[in-house]
Structure 1
Amino acid sequence: MLENYSYRTCFLSSIPSSTCSSRSHKNCIFPLTNTTEFKVRCVESERKALLSFKRSLTDPSDRLASWVGKECCIWKAVYCDIQTGYVIGLDLNDRSNNCYWKKLGHLIPGNSTCFGGKISPALLELRYLKYLDLGGNDFQGLATPNFLGSLKNLQCLNLSLSSLVGIPPSFGNLSNLRHLDLWAYSYPIDTVERSWVKDLNWVSGLSSLKYIDLSYVNLSLVKHWLEAFNKLPSLVTLRAVPASIEQLSRLAKLDMGENQLSGPLPESIFNFSELTALRLTTNYALEGNLAQNHFARFHGLTVLSLSCGRSFSVNLTNEWVPPFSLTHIKLRSCSLGPKFPTWLETQKQLQFVILTNGSISDPIPPWLWTLCSQLQWLDLSDNQIGGSLPRLVNFPSTSQNWTVGFYFSYYYGVVVDLSSNRFHGLLPLWPNVTHLNLAKNLFSGSIPLNIGHVMTKLQVLDLSRNAFIGSIPYSITRVNKLLRLDLSDNHLSGKIPHWWYESQQLQVIDLSGNNFTGGIPPTICSPPSFFWLRLSRNNLFGELPKSLSNCKSLLALDIGENKISGTIPEWFGESLLSLQILRMTHNMIDGCIPPQLCQLSSLQILDLSHDHLTGFIPSCLGSFRGLKSMKFYRWFPNYFYFSYVFTPNMELVEKGTKRTYTFTLDQVNLIDLSCNNLHGEIPNEITGRIPEDIERMQQLETLDLSSNNISGSIPLSMTSITLLCYLNLSYNNLGGPIPTTNQFGTFTNPSSFEGNPELCGKPLITDCSLPRKKEMETKIEDDEDEDEIRLCFFVSAGMGFVVMFSVTFSSLMINNSWGYCCFHFMEEVGERIIRFCLGFMACLNRIFSVKRN
């Protein structure tokens, strides 16, 4: 969607380009700068109004620090009329993008530059205000003030991306308004019901309106909303979910992309002879078949953006000569192949070319290789394009004449013919391209060694899912603005380079699914804004370098399916505090799970399965905030622009099945500790016990603790995790009954619990009543043994008493002195025997008691 930005026009002649949204056209010109050279005197009542307005705002970065003193016309963001001194412009738009990224969950250092708080009605004192720009701030769901509709002199009102909710009907009073930007998407609150618009009749009062943007404003409850726009005589650009638009005969730009439109397109759209931009992307329920005759009247068309679907297609023959000259073309999921569409060769002004999932199996044609002077964006991903990328040659810097000709070979790529022309330096292969995406094709051979010397303006290089061989060219370090490097799923080999400190702008590195060997280079965390690292499915070995602790902004670390050894470093929990995804599965990692890992409070995916871990599961794993609350926004950076720069991609074993996640990755909550040597009981903290402070793992969807040595019973508190849809506790030493309430009633597959000999209850066939019966039988047998032992003891003691009594009585009859001596001896022995018997009986009782328990 990047190309949309240059087509947003304020339609103003008296406001600087800086005062309109950053998405506005550059022809916004304001003749007055807020300096003292014009010696404009501030109106006292307006100065007080501005200060009152300032007091109602929150200003974390102190953007309004200049609002001091008596001369308000020299204050930052304030514009006054040169003659009268009245305030006519107020520009509070945050163009640093700091606020925007932060609202979307991106990690930005420093204080937020967002204005927040409340919008004071003191603005009503600015009676001559023509231009008001509050875009790009964060008013956190504050209702759009109704009093803004009383600023009747307004010509430009920009509330885009400001997190204001709703559109008051009082806006219909702004009859002088020319530019109205209400782009809503920037905050979770924009999705709540009170942000939905139910009536657009007020639009008919905007008689001067030329531009309106209602992107991402929910219009699903509005009936006949297009009829209101049909009454606007000056409207040129409408950005918004239509049927009869034939009355908009002067319409120049029509953008209905990123919606849920269904049914056939109105034929009247193709009668707009002044149309310059048509965008219908991502409306997968549209119906119809567009042929070349539909575009016959579009002589001025420069932007064409379409997405095909099951019932919507584009049928353009190779012999077609379009009546227009495009600068932007985006055709997604449209069957253009198998031949590369030759009609594109007639489009000499192309800057953006996006032909994804187009069933093209031809090699890249020579004319596209040489379309180098203005091409900025090339995305040919998800086709079957084969061949090799051209080898880039350093030419001698001489005065010889060179001719550069391209002859394409299906199997061998480009052959360069150098004769009869003046040329020196490097082969000019797309030198101005910033985004090159050739992913999911059939390209082979090596990556051109000089690619970084030629394509120095690259921001995105995506060559993933091809068949490239060789190593990563060192010349990539010459691409100073490179943000994303994705070379995953190729056949690249050798060691991962050490030159990452030369690529300071890098944010994303994905080298997974190759044949790299050696260790993880210690310099890989050199780029300061680095947030995504995937090195999985290689042959990497050795321990994790301590330098990974420098990845302070890292959100995802995936080193799974390698031969990494050693222990999980304790400093993970001290240095990688932003980490949300940690995947170390299928390695040779041993030792215990360090408790410091629990300090990663934002962690939502933890996969330590198929390693050699031992010890207990830390009970503090239940402190992960990412598994406790629902996320309302995507964790990865700005969906609109950055979805072209970076689409998250990760393979996870979730719900027992290996799946690849992209745009839904932020909604996955997973802990997988299976196939290790862990033992002990399942910590209560992992089960989601509900404390009074509502801190629990209620968003946990997948828990896999299989193939360990975990003992104890399944805590009943686990039944409170109502979102848990996959559970695997198999092959442990768990015992007792399996819970049956809440989610546990849905776990009907015995494989989730098998391999636990003492576990019973459904879905296992072991009945929990059988162990009790066996226990009773064992108890009866123990009691019988106990009685027999006691009987034998008492019989023996009795016989001994009889014998001793007989001996004593006989000795008294023979000799009195013998009798007395024998009596005293037997008395002493008897006392000892009694004490022994009492102790022996107590010992027997303890033994039988322990045995019964």
Structure 2
Amino acid sequence: MSTIMSESTVQIFFYALMLLLAFGFNSGVAEAGMKCIEKERQALLMFKQGLVDDCGYLSSWGSDEGRKDCCKWSGVQCSNRTGHVIMLNLKYKVDPVCPNRPLRGNINSSLLELQHLHYLDLSVNDFLGNPIPEFIGSFTKLRFLDLSLANFSGRIPYQLGNLTNLQSLNLGYNSLYVSKFGWLSHLNKLTQLDLDFVDLSEASDWLQVITSLASLRDLYLASSTLPSINRPSLSSMNSSTSLALLDLSSCGLSNSAYHWLFKISSNLLALDLNSNQLAGPIPDYAFSNMTALQHLNLSLNQISAISKSFGNMCGLKTLHLFYNNLTGQLPELFLNLSGCSKNSLEILKLGGNKLTGSLPDITEFSSLQELHLFDNKLDGSFPEKFRKPSPLVILNLDGNQLWGSLPDLSVFPFLTRLDVSDSRLNGTVSEGLGRLSKLEFLDLFGNSLEGMITESHVSNLSKLKYMDFSFNSLALNFSFGWFPPFQLEYIGLLNCKLGPHFPKWLQSQKNYYFLDISDTEISDAVPSWFWDLSPNLYYLNLSHNHLEGTVLDLSLNYAGYPGIDLSSNDFEGPVPPVPGNVTSLNLSNNKFSGPISSLCSISGEYFSYLDVSDNLLSGELPDCLLRWQALAVLNLANNNFSGNFLNFVGSACPLESFNVRNNSFVGEIPPSLKKCNELKIIDAGDNKFSGTIPAWIGDTLPKLAILSLRSNQFHGSIPRNLCQLSKIQLLDFSLNSISGAIPKCINNLTEMVEKASSNSTITHIYVYYRSATLDGFVSKYDDVAVIVWKGTDQQYKKTLGLVKSIDLSSNKLHGEIPEEITSLGGLISLNLSRNALTGPIASKIGQLNLLDSLDLSNNQLTGEIPESLSLLNYLGVLDLSNNNLSGKIPSSNKLQGFDASAYAGNLELCGSPLPVKCPEDEPAQSPAITMQHSEDGIVSTGFYVSVALGFIVGFWGFVSSLLLNRSWRRAYWQFLDHTKERLCTNTVPNAAKRQR
């Protein structure tokens, strides 16, 4: 619905105001003696009986003596002349005491007694999907009827055509439809009509009827379903002379709508076409007839270029084109607007497009007050100089690629909001910034600006409330005793340089609700005055500094539902008390010690994030954790907590990250985690958990991405149910006593099959709230996991989502490595070492072509190394040592590039880089001995003479001994007889076997 208020809207509000004033006057008259008419009072009581009033809005409607006068009832107004009820206003208004509980029920026909009604408003209630009662058409004196947002459904009754005095009709935001529009043509006095969300697809006459209403000025058809309009029907259509405001947003209109929009009215002042299907360049004729147009909204379409005719709209004040497909150079677009509209245009919204180029000299547009260019692709710079002063109030260039310094903007003395965040601005900030005395909002977040921000930059900015210099290389250089003239509400200085001393100027700031001075090079003790924090504070971030000392009681210093981050400092002492309504708390990487019982003050209603990892905390967990039913992130890693872990979750469990790594917890993994079907992370490594790996992990945790049970006391086999973890990307069961075989269904881990990952991080979204009305701000928490990588513990955070790893090392697994594991093509690391695995290495292991680390050492693997292993081009770590592998190491630059230790302990393995040569690699022998002399002279005639003499002497020495010694001769012949018998005994059966 358009935000522009037309003259007729003003008239309606004026009329309603007069009625309200009359109501106040009439109440006084009633007190003087005017009573409501009895039958009308009874009719209202009967109407009340059909309603459910949970919050007592109609508590003043009664029949006892003190409440008999219905003219004094809430929402009722009577005529001071006749006593008849002329107004019934039961519109639901948000009640923080009883939120979201409007009236609901049925509309009793007893209301027919109120025949003098001028004003009937039943909007924003719940009438249970019932149709609009036809008898409402009998209130012929009605001038104002509002049934919007009241859960009506069905056909709009044609009896409403009897309300000929009606000036305003609002039926929007229900589930209604119209088959024919003829009844509407009787409402000649109608000036405002709201049919938002009404289905008009069967009302082919809607356009003719609408344009025939002589008094109609404001028409709202947002999100209505319109019938198609063919060109022949346009020839009989008259142009409306009265229509000034037309809202056709979200109606599914395509480019064909330009033809009838061209004819609908030349007197239009405001036209809203946002969220349709208008595509491509806007044709020149489309708006050329709308010479009076002041406000045009074409946002959220697919428009690629605007017409030059826009420059000829001499009365155009606002032009909204954000989130389209506008391309080309920004200066060219401004050139198309440089007709007479250059002098009238006040608000120009071009954000969310694909415009490129530099920022032109916008001071040429003499009336321009707001320029929104956020989320484009501007890749130039600011003009070297703006030519003349400008009335500009808002300049939003957020999310572009502008470069260069932030120039002197003193030509914009009325500027209240300057946003150049998330660009590529470099260089320095001009001291001319200090002359923008009306500036309230200043956002330089996420650039590459450098240099000093001194007192001269900000001393005159007395109205400044929002200041964000985060993610720049700016240093705030204020003198120690200087106090700024402003009272900031938002202070964002992340990654700037404030230190080494704690900034004294913060002591003067009393109204801030957001303070982020993280990573600002402060190495100092926090002064005691700081802990007397602003009473409006709902977000505090002091992380990644070197702040020292103890943290004082924080429980009384926060408003709303705050978030607190004190991580990565040198705070020590006990965990401080915090506000009971805190939503996020990060105390990680400090020196806090002792138990965490002080956190029991947290009510847990909106408490979604707790990180106390990397401290010196100890003891058992307090029972108050059972109250934290909204917790999404729990990180207790790297402390010395002990005891059994609590079954802390209730019937509903929003927990997404469960990290208790490196503590001394005992017992089983908490079975209550099976209710946490949003879990993405379970890291229980380096504890003393025992028992078997729970099978329910695979059955009830479909989103689990990280499962680490490393270095515990688990036994038993790996449950086949874990193969259902289709999202798992890191599986670590190393250093346990797990036995059995690796499940063959491991190829069902489909996330490891995929070679690409959609996100580099595993992120959890949480919300911290500014007030009890729950106007929340979204933040995020990136998970951390420790992975054994190339022999050392590596911590992954920003790239955790890209890591895909299986580590089953140091267990008692046996059996063969399943061939199915080779289908996990996304694996980066595979470690099956120090088990009792047997059989060959899977022949298709080369399919794991992203593998960077492979460790199969210290098993009982046999067979040859598969040739496919040489295909692993990314392999950086390989260890096959201490197995029973045999044969030759396949030849490739990759496999020969590893140290020999990668293959050591395989006694039958040969080939480079091992020193053992394979038989086929030995040099070939000479096939025959010839009488020729060798090159080195070893084989000679003397050599052969010596061989012959040796044979003769040896042979005749043996024979002569047999001839001369009888006992030797007898023993020799017995030996020959024995040998003959053995040969016959073995040879004959073997021959028989061969014959059979």
Match of 2:574 among 425, 430, 446: 446
Residue 731 in structure 1 maps to residue 858 in structure 2: yes
Cα deviation, 1:173-213, whole Å, max 9, x if unaligned, reads 777574748579xxxxxxxxxx8955334652566363647
Residue 510 in structure 1 maps to residue 635 in structure 2: yes
Tell me by how many angstroms 1:532 deviates: 1.3
Tell me by how many angstroms 1:218 deviates: 6.4
Q: Is the 8 A contact 1:279 1:306 kept in 2?
A: yes
**3-state SS of paired residue (2:695):** coil
Q: Is the 8 A contact 2:177 2:198 kept in 1?
A: no
RCO greater where, 1 or 2, for CA within 8 Å and sep 6 or more?
1
* Range with greater deviation from structure 2 (82-91 or 719-728): 82-91
* Range with greater deviation from structure 2 (332-341 or 732-741): 732-741
2: CA distance, partners of 1:796 / 1:196: 105
Residue 380 in structure 1 maps to residue 517 in structure 2: no
Distance 1:263 1:620, change over 3 A: farther
Residue correspondence of structure 1 range 288-299 to structure 2 within 5 A: 288-299=451-462
Distance 1:476 1:119, change over 3 A: farther
Cα deviation, 1:679-728, whole Å, max 9, x if unaligned, reads 3333333223xxxxxxxx33322222222233344445333444322333
**3-state SS of paired residue (2:757):** coil
Distance 1:255 1:466, change over 3 A: same
2: CA distance, partners of 1:464 / 1:540: 19
Name the structure 2 match of 1:189: none
**3-state SS of paired residue (2:745):** helix
* Range with greater deviation from structure 2 (121-130 or 731-740): 121-130
Q: Is the 8 A contact 1:377 1:436 kept in 2?
A: yes
Report the residue type matching 2:816 in the other structure: E
Name the structure 1 match of 2:581: 457
2: CA distance, partners of 1:328 / 1:706: 54
Residue correspondence of structure 1 range 29-428 to structure 2 within 5 A: 38-39=144-145, 66-69=175-178, 73-76=194-197, 83-84=216-217, 86-87=219-220, 89-90=222-223, 120=254, 130-131=271-272, 134=275, 155-156=296-297, 159=300, 168-170=304-306, 176=316, 178=318, 180=320, 182=322, 197-201=327-331, 203-204=333-334, 208=345, 210=347, 212=349, 214=351, 222-227=356-361, 231=365, 233-235=368-370, 236-240=394-398, 241-242=401-402, 243=404, 249=412, 250-265=414-429, 269=433, 271-283=435-447, 285-307=448-470, 312-391=474-553, 428=556
Cα deviation, 1:743-770, whole Å, max 9, x if unaligned, reads 6345365x53333341652335453496
Cα deviation, 1:301-340, whole Å, max 9, x if unaligned, reads 211111355x543323322222322111111122322322
2: CA distance, partners of 1:686 / 1:301: 61
Distance 1:489 1:130, change over 3 A: farther
Name the structure 2 match of 1:466: 590
**3-state SS of paired residue (1:473):** helix
Q: Is the 8 A contact 1:34 1:76 kept in 2?
A: no
Distance 1:720 1:11, change over 3 A: farther
Q: Is the 8 A contact 1:359 1:383 kept in 2?
A: yes
**3-state SS of paired residue (1:335):** coil
Q: Is the 8 A contact 1:674 1:705 kept in 2?
A: yes
Name the structure 2 match of 1:682: 817
Match of 1:773 among 903, 909, 919: 919
Tell me by how many angstroms 1:508 deviates: 1.3
Distance 1:724 1:65, change over 3 A: farther
Identity of aligned residues (%): 27
Name the structure 1 match of 2:745: 620
**3-state SS of paired residue (1:572):** helix
Name the structure 1 match of 2:701: 576
Report the residue type matching 2:175 in the other structure: S
1: CA distance, partners of 2:766 / 2:329: 29
Name the structure 2 match of 1:698: 825
Match of 2:726 among 601, 617, 635: 601
Residue correspondence of structure 1 range 520-669 to structure 2 within 5 A: 520-524=645-649, 527-627=652-752, 628-633=754-759, 635-638=762-765, 644-669=779-804
Consecutive unaligned residues of structure 1, counting only runs of 5 or more, are 1-9, 16-30, 43-62, 93-114, 136-141, 185-194, 393-426, 689-696, 778-790, 801-832, 844-853
2: CA distance, partners of 1:836 / 1:647: 78
Residue correspondence of structure 1 range 781-792 to structure 2 within 5 A: none
Distance 1:292 1:568, change over 3 A: same
Distance 1:388 1:527, change over 3 A: farther
Distance 1:667 1:292, change over 3 A: farther
2: CA distance, partners of 1:612 / 1:131: 69
Q: Is the 8 A contact 1:438 1:463 kept in 2?
A: yes
**3-state SS of paired residue (2:512):** coil
Distance 1:771 1:592, change over 3 A: farther
Report the residue type matching 1:430 in the other structure: Y
Consecutive unaligned residues of structure 2, counting only runs of 5 or more, are 10-120, 126-131, 133-142, 149-171, 182-192, 201-209, 226-248, 371-393, 769-776, 890-895, 901-908, 924-975
Residue 753 in structure 1 maps to residue 880 in structure 2: yes
Tell me by how many angstroms 1:551 deviates: 0.8
Q: Is the 8 A contact 1:604 1:669 kept in 2?
A: yes
Report the residue type matching 1:286 in the other structure: L
Tell me by how many angstroms 1:579 deviates: 0.9
**3-state SS of paired residue (1:288):** strand
**How many residues in Structure 1 have an aligned counterpart in Structure 2?**
660
Residue 481 in structure 1 maps to residue 639 in structure 2: no
**3-state SS of paired residue (2:782):** coil
Report the residue type matching 2:654 in the other structure: S
2: CA distance, partners of 1:381 / 1:603: 31
Q: Is the 8 A contact 2:197 2:221 kept in 1?
A: no
Distance 1:655 1:83, change over 3 A: farther
Cα deviation, 1:244-263, whole Å, max 9, x if unaligned, reads 76577244322233344444
Cα deviation, 1:22-72, whole Å, max 9, x if unaligned, reads xxxxxxxxx997999845999xxxxxxxxxxxxxxxxxxxx9882534589
1: CA distance, partners of 2:278 / 2:703: 32
2: CA distance, partners of 1:608 / 1:383: 36
TM-score (norm 1): 0.67
Tell me by how many angstroms 1:470 deviates: 1.9
**3-state SS of paired residue (1:325):** coil
Report the residue type matching 1:481 in the other structure: Y
Tell me by how many angstroms 1:565 deviates: 0.8
1: CA distance, partners of 2:883 / 2:982: 48
TM-score (norm 2): 0.58
Distance 1:325 1:747, change over 3 A: same
**3-state SS of paired residue (1:478):** coil
Which structure's CA Rg is the greater one? 2
1: CA distance, partners of 2:608 / 2:668: 27
Root mean square deviation of aligned Cα: 4.6
Distance 1:799 1:473, change over 3 A: closer
Report the residue type matching 1:338 in the other structure: P
Q: Is the 8 A contact 2:513 2:534 kept in 1?
A: no
Distance 1:34 1:147, change over 3 A: farther
Report the residue type matching 1:440 in the other structure: S
Tell me by how many angstroms 1:266 deviates: 5.6
Residue 744 in structure 1 maps to residue 872 in structure 2: yes
1: CA distance, partners of 2:789 / 2:308: 51
2: CA distance, partners of 1:793 / 1:256: 107
Tell me by how many angstroms 1:122 deviates: 7.1
